[in-house]
Amino acid sequence: MRGSDPAAVAALKAGGLVILPTETVYGLAADAGNPRAVAAIFEAKGRPRFNPLIAHVADAVEAGRIAVFDDRARALAAAFWPGPLTIVAPVRDRERVCDLARAGLDSVAVRVPGHDRARAVIAAFGGPVVAPSANRSGRPSPTTYADAVEETGFATAEAVDGGDCIVGVESTVVSMLDGRVTLLRPGAVTRAEIEALIGPIDTGGDGHRSPGRLALHYAPDAPVRIEAMQARDGEILLGFGPGSGEARWSLSPSGDLREAAANLFRRLREADRERPTGIAVAPVPDQGLGEAINDRLRRAAGFVG
Ligand code: TXA
Ligand code: MG
């Protein structure tokens, strides 16, 4: 049946692309070991080939088959999987996650998604599944089934409707290479939660760069202006917290960061559909999950992070 888990598994096995729900954002999934399927992902998204993909696996045992985890990586996996944390570690199996999926790197990004249907499909498929966010490159990630189909549905053999994504921003990406711990992308698992478990995240120096962190990213068509106190002519204002009465929508009327994250991309897309001259977004505090929200907003506004 179209849209069923078995149909999605069959499509993956046949080398097709599948829209797959996760708890963070919708993914565009393919067999990580099939270079032609992986090439089709880059093609559909218009994604530069130097930007590697995340391998999604059903559990930590599967992760250990494709990546080499040290003690701290194992501790993070035990604490946060299934869930919105991606661990970058040395690659163990270069076949199961092909060169193109890793953009030729000796490392691989791995996560176990916290969405039951995603894990069920991956487990039934029986191997790692690469899944970048299902948007075309540079655009806001889709957090609803309809938005995912609108973005990249044209390229897919199957699409699984898993409802709205409850987290709403992409996973935290942590690099664990050469004994260093680096935060490559803030996300729903916060810096403080990671440090509470394994000690300080390394800062300064070059660290390990994430090839995909392009300056303009997550951007709707309309220009985005952040830290806005009020809307200018023709702009739509997205508020946050009590007191943004003038705002058309609020990311969270009560000022709740989880709610704001869950609403972020959906509201940016909704506002964009009205073709405003711009989208203004009220200030969001930088603590906890706010770090991820502000990271996405700064990139949508065109600031290099
Ligand atoms: O929440 C998520 O992570 C979503 C859902 C669908 O799982 N996926 C996602 O994938 O956000 P994508 O491709 O949009 O972002 C992957 C990020 C990119 O910034 C990429 O550069 C980085 O992970 N990445 C992947 N492999 C890497 C590696 N070996 N070294 C450094 N960064 C890597
Ligand atoms: Mg993305």
Residue at token pair 């962190």 = 213
Q: For residue 30, what are the β-bridge partners?
A: 130
CA of 282 to the centre of ligand 2 (A): 23
Give, for ligand 1, the residue of 81, 210, 216, 218 to mutate: max count of ligand atoms closer than 8 Å to Cβ: 210
d(CA 184, CA 176): 10
d(CA 69, CA 169): 25
CA of 252 to the centre of ligand 1 (A): 27
Asked whether 105 lines ligand 1 (CB < 6 A), one says: yes
pLDDT in tens, the chain (305 residues): 789 999 999 999 999 999 999 999 999 999 999 999 999 999 999 999 999 999 999 999 999 999 999 999 999 999 999 999 999 999 999 999 999 999 999 999 999 999 999 999 999 999 999 999 999 999 999 999 999 999 999 999 999 999 999 999 999 999 999 999 999 999 999 999 999 999 999 986 554 567 766 667 888 999 999 999 889 999 999 999 987 666 778 999 999 999 999 999 999 999 999 999 999 999 999 999 999 999 999 999 998 64
Asked whether 213 lines ligand 1 (CB < 6 A), one says: yes
Nearest listed ligand to the Cα of residue 135: 2
Asked whether 244 lines ligand 1 (CB < 6 A), one says: no
CA of 131 to the centre of ligand 2 (A): 9
CA of 211 to the centre of ligand 1 (A): 9
Domains of the chain, by residue range, sit at 5-209, 224-300
Considering the four listed CATH numbers 3.40.50.10320, 3.20.20.70, 3.10.180.10, 3.90.870.10, the one that applies to the domain covering 5-209 is 3.90.870.10
**C-alpha count within 13 angstroms, C-beta hemisphere, residue 163:** 7
Considering the four listed CATH numbers 3.20.20.105, 3.30.930.10, 3.40.50.11030, 3.40.50.300, the one that applies to the domain covering 224-300 is 3.40.50.11030
